[in-house]
Structure 1
Amino acid sequence: MSATELHEIVAKSAAEYAVPGVAVGIWHGGREIYASHGVTSVANPLPVDEDTIFTLGSTSKSFTATALVILAEQGKVDFDAPVRRYLPDLRLADERAAATISVGNLLNHTAGFDTWMLRDTGDGDDALATYVDHLDELTLIAEPGERASYSQAAYNLLGRVIEVVTGKTYEQAVRDLLFEPLGLENTTFFAAEAMTRKFSLGHSIDAEGPKVSPTWKVHRAQNPGGGGASSARDLVRWARFHLGDGRAESGERIVSAEALQAMRRQTVELRGSSLGDGFGICWFLREIDGAATFAHGGSSVGQFADFIAVPEHDFAIAVTTNAEPGGTPCNLAIIRWALEHYLGLVDRDPEPVAFDAARAAEITGEYEVDMMIVSVVDEGDHLSLAARIRPELRAAAPDDMPADCEPAHMGFLGEDGDDYIVTEGPLQGQRGYFARDEHGAVTAIDLAGRQFRRVKSAG
């Protein structure tokens, strides 16, 4: 497969989705392949290349989880142990949950936590400790171990566990355990480090064109769950490590091959989700056209990163982009093209069934998590879904909030059941389901691996 073809599809996708800058890195059978297009910022444009630093959002969680796997092999962390073994003063909204939640529950998103908790606790070395001191403000949505629901707050809590067991800040611990031995020279958690190199800025696109995002990344307490930044070249190195035997390129043993492989064994099922069939240790696991994959994606202040690996083909691809709302669909288009053209794997969305007014009446209304509200509306001949930031949060921090998602078509998958798919817009391809109580009433929508609780019906 010619690298020229990859460059062409990257440029085409950037234009189609109105993304100012894209960087792609591929590892395939011992070969590194890169393609870039566009600029770091429309306000101060520099050409994007494989060493340009993009913020990663939740793809950063793979650093946190891998660091904990190393610490577990060193005997410093037990995944089956309650978190209070390491953080005895942990307080949550429910005392029983605080006493029983395990490190493993946090790693595979079965702790029963709501999604974010966006409290800004400053940029000091105590940012994570202070954040954790306020976790009793976080809504608990399920009993520990009851179900998977994706949570940023869970990984921020894991970052504090890393601090306690290593005696270092989270960032220094991850640097020592991973970044330095693996040679991830352009991977960081700090804007002050990124600004000494070439880095991308986020953008939002509207009818007037692209606008540079006024902030670069989330505040420090969010680093374990979504505060990392990296380049396409470093993400290829990250892929080589996870597809390898646990050694760095230098030959230094970082962790056992068995421990790395265990990260991509399913620990909990995800029902009806486009993100995966289940969680391993952090990784989203999904079979694509018969091939097992592990992956993670993320977004942060107008920048988007997606990483997916196919072990049986010794293949991985990382795509980074710098604009919303086009970043996610642009990444997906490039990844699907690469899977098909390099590996012959076809990843297509299923088609929804015809609109049914009676089924629509059961599920229309509003659903919420701590940061967002999702509206499902009967438009007369189809269903639409829209996601928006809570007004009070946008008012408090307007520069830090992503753009709301405009209403997009959605439909049920199958004549029976509650699984659905979004068929257009930034959420295109997202699949999930509507949850019901013991009486059959719809109580929640699962979107992007998160449970949004129903708070209002259309009637």
Structure 2
Amino acid sequence: MSRVGLSDFIEAAAAKFGVPGVAVGVWAGGREVYASHGVTSVTNPLPVDQDTLFVLGSVTKPFTATALMRLAAEGRVDLEAPVRRYVPEFVLPDERAAEQITVSQLLNHTAGLDWRMSAETGEGDDALAAYVAKLADLELIAPPGARVSYSQVGYDLAGRIIEKVTGLTYERAIAVLLLQPLGLSHTTFATNDVMTRRFAVGHNLGEDGTFSVARQWKDSRANNPGGGAVSSVVDLLRWARFHLGDGRAEDGTRVLSAAALRQMTEQTVELRASTLGDALGICWFLRDVDGVRTVGHGGSANGQFAELLLVPERDFAVVALSNSGPDAGLAFNQAVVRWALENYLGVVDQDPEPLPYDDAAARDVVGRYENEMMTIDIATDGTGLTIECGIKPQIRAAADTELPPDLPPADLGLLPGDADEYLVTGGGLNGQRGSFTRDEAGAITGIDLAGRLFTRVPR
């Protein structure tokens, strides 16, 4: 284990990866440790501190899931009930599927809903209702319960359940159910709240190697349940401590039972060869690292990344927030988490070793894959495989806000075994692990990247 302290490590790591600003918090040995470095913006710089607000992206999802757990504990929601019990206007092109999808399937990404939906429904209080109405045109990627595929759509629909049950807007319901009783005063969804405090802006790396400020700061309001929260490293570490605890706030207020919190960390479905984890609990990704079970969730926004990881059996948590795109921000966060696990717990997280290049195996997976929003291209030059991931041109052209840049090609290696697993070994996707899907005849039909299914399409 290194003798380098947290502040020294994150300063060196931020410099190594070129991240403009970072904030990190660790809960270990019954005490909190914080470290910050860099600036909120390369064009209007202020020092990042432990109260600086960052966009959490999908680290919002555990808030949505925990709110539903509280409503379930109060008898207001049955997690095994169909979504239509609470949102009767929920319609899909597949009527039978719309009748079958349950609340729990939304929470563990087994509803068969696609990752994202290209839909803008404004910033009014009806944004989620209008978004759910547009699901009438969304084709399923699998029958309900048939497979795991990470879905922003599913969590936005879960947010609408919260609205219908409480009679409040999603944002107000989260405040009443969680933020206020837990004292999370630096966690919000509203830009009017954010602009009165110090906040980090996103940055994306241009082809000339310099950062530019990301002009879309956070996602649209309809995507708040899946990715719209804004918070500080202090609030996120307090949130982590709540999930490590007995369900009470720091002032003793009972928010949820300890049993309900433990239920969220119990496996509901297995994941295959995913960087996200070995299994899913209720929202949380579960992963065994060097003999210990970790519980966590990551998130991304336009030029910002967030990571939250818990180790319940060691009463440990680490939070990493960064304000740059995947080449820098995601790489920094991953490095921080691995360093913290090793230096505080002696837990070593290592990537598997890819196989040597095999031309026949490589050409089996070469092709184009896509989902509603993005494409993946896998290619070979006869000596190695590359993977390239980007937003569909028609989606980018139709957007009225700036979208993150596409990722340049990165090396991809196939992993040992017969599970069709792979590992990305460079670029903004470095360390991403996933798998290919085959049909009954043995032909490759899809690829899972970051838990999201991409279907193979003709070139």
* TM-score, structure 2 as length reference: 0.98
After superposition, the C-alpha distances for 1:389-417 in whole angstroms (9 at most, x for unaligned) are 00011112264311111100011111644
**Paired residue secondary structure (2:458):** strand
Whole-angstrom distance in 1 between the partners of 2:4 and 2:176: 37
Whole-angstrom distance in 1 between the partners of 2:3 and 2:186: 23
After superposition, the C-alpha distances for 1:102-144 in whole angstroms (9 at most, x for unaligned) are 0011000000011110311111000000000101222311010
Matched with 1:352 is 354
Matched with 1:106 is 106
Segment of structure 1 superposing worse, 136-145 or 252-261: 136-145
Matched with 1:85 is 85
Segment of structure 1 superposing worse, 5-14 or 257-266: 5-14
Matched with 1:452 is 454
Contact 1:203–1:302, Cα closer than 8 Å, also in 2 = yes
Contact 1:50–1:231, Cα closer than 8 Å, also in 2 = yes
Whole-angstrom distance in 2 between the partners of 1:60 and 1:308: 14
Structure 2: gaps (5+ residues)? none
Segment of structure 1 superposing worse, 144-153 or 322-331: 322-331
State yes or no: 1:264 paired with 2:265.
yes
Matched with 1:160 is 160
Contact 2:423–2:433, Cα closer than 8 Å, also in 1 = yes
Deviation at 1:172, TM superposition (A): 0.3
Matched with 1:428 is 430
**Paired residue secondary structure (1:410):** strand
Matched with 2:315 is 314
Whole-angstrom distance in 2 between the partners of 1:129 and 1:141: 22
Matched with 1:334 is 336
Matched with 1:388 is 390
Deviation at 1:8, TM superposition (A): 1.1
Q: How does 1:216-231 map to 2 (within 5 A)?
A: 216-231=217-232
Whole-angstrom distance in 1 between the partners of 2:352 and 2:123: 44
Contact 1:274–1:448, Cα closer than 8 Å, also in 2 = yes
Q: How does 1:277-426 map to 2 (within 5 A)?
A: 277-324=278-325, 325-397=327-399, 399-414=401-416, 416-426=418-428
Whole-angstrom distance in 2 between the partners of 1:146 and 1:45: 48
Segment of structure 1 superposing worse, 407-416 or 145-154: 407-416
After superposition, the C-alpha distances for 1:250-290 in whole angstroms (9 at most, x for unaligned) are 00000100000100001001001111001100000000100
Q: Which amino acid aligns with 2:38?
A: G
Contact 2:2–2:343, Cα closer than 8 Å, also in 1 = no
Whole-angstrom distance in 1 between the partners of 2:130 and 2:323: 31
Whole-angstrom distance in 1 between the partners of 2:106 and 2:150: 10
Contact 1:18–1:205, Cα closer than 8 Å, also in 2 = no
Percent identity of paired positions between Structure 1 and Structure 2: 57
Q: Which amino acid aligns with 1:220?
A: R
Matched with 2:72 is 72
Matched with 1:57 is 57
Matched with 1:38 is 38
Deviation at 1:451, TM superposition (A): 0.9
* Aligned length in residues: 457
Q: Which amino acid aligns with 2:58?
A: S
Structure-2 change in CA distance of 1:398 and 1:328 (3 Å): farther
Whole-angstrom distance in 1 between the partners of 2:137 and 2:212: 34
Q: Which amino acid aligns with 1:251?
A: G
Structure 1: gaps (5+ residues)? none
Matched with 1:440 is 442
Matched with 1:209 is 210
**Paired residue secondary structure (1:261):** helix
Whole-angstrom distance in 2 between the partners of 1:254 and 1:417: 42
Q: How does 1:106-255 map to 2 (within 5 A)?
A: 106-206=106-206, 207-255=208-256
Q: Which amino acid aligns with 2:73?
A: E
**Paired residue secondary structure (2:387):** strand
Contact 2:379–2:385, Cα closer than 8 Å, also in 1 = yes
Deviation at 1:53, TM superposition (A): 0.2
**Paired residue secondary structure (1:9):** helix
Contact 2:94–2:139, Cα closer than 8 Å, also in 1 = no
After superposition, the C-alpha distances for 1:355-408 in whole angstroms (9 at most, x for unaligned) are 111011111000001010000101220000010000011112264311111100
Whole-angstrom distance in 1 between the partners of 2:159 and 2:52: 26
After superposition, the C-alpha distances for 1:43-93 in whole angstroms (9 at most, x for unaligned) are 111100110000000010010000000000000000110000011121112
Whole-angstrom distance in 2 between the partners of 1:29 and 1:109: 34
**Paired residue secondary structure (2:375):** strand
Q: Which amino acid aligns with 1:21?
A: G
Deviation at 1:2, TM superposition (A): 10
Whole-angstrom distance in 2 between the partners of 1:61 and 1:211: 28
Whole-angstrom distance in 2 between the partners of 1:256 and 1:43: 46
Whole-angstrom distance in 1 between the partners of 2:211 and 2:430: 21
**Paired residue secondary structure (1:386):** strand
Whole-angstrom distance in 1 between the partners of 2:154 and 2:203: 28
Whole-angstrom distance in 2 between the partners of 1:386 and 1:2: 35
Contact 1:21–1:48, Cα closer than 8 Å, also in 2 = yes
Matched with 1:273 is 274
* TM-score, structure 1 as length reference: 0.98
